[in-house]
Structure 1
């Protein structure tokens, strides 16, 4: 019950905290933007001409899990590793931004699957794909084809 009241209080004060964070972002010359809505969110961190894509998961009461492995490399310039200083700076800024929402911020250091792991999974499943460039893979998987290939709906 306490968590629910905390949630309501945080919703009421959200606008004030977000405004304060936007002022801080402008002063420190960076910005954080949502690029996808839903329980799993993709966030883009902008600083000058550099961009980092960040994966985070939200729970019902605005608790957030931040996957640090998702922003070990810059999206622009593509593939360039963040220095340890830049990594800590981005992690702290993004965690501070998520803390504005009023929930707990959990930092998850688990390694995410690599592009090579993803491609191997597509190859193992027999799904045709195309590498478009800049780490983008284009593929189509039809549910009926997958069911037939695996021997029916109930056969794993």
Structure 2
């Protein structure tokens, strides 16, 4: 490539020299080899400058990528956890970050479903209803002094709060 470029430069310089030779004092003309060397030196310096710019930009992009990866992986466990163990939050984060994008999205969708289900249980006071039902079962147990003396007490829970209570 450099030799081909050198030949083209030399040919162009020769053509220019022949065109101007008639009008110039030959003692003042710079030898063509010197012109070609000067053109090639300028070209080589420019290529080196561009190469250094490309390398500097590539280094900067690599450093930015490393910084972003470090930011995204901050807080996770340094090593993958042992199989069949209860994960710490740092180990869970490590497993999550190591998963494929599809698996991460599925985990997030599953978590959102569980959060929605948990909120529904809170809203419907399932814990209170279970406590009330256990108390009622204990009260109605055979041999209990209050087994038939009082009507059932509940926290007011209904399966469908929009549906009116059944009339007797």
TM-score, scaled relative to structure 1: 0.19
Which structure has the highest helix share of the two? 2
User: Which of the two has greater strand per residue?
Assistant: 1
RCO higher in 1 or 2 (8 Å CA, sep ≥ 6)? 1
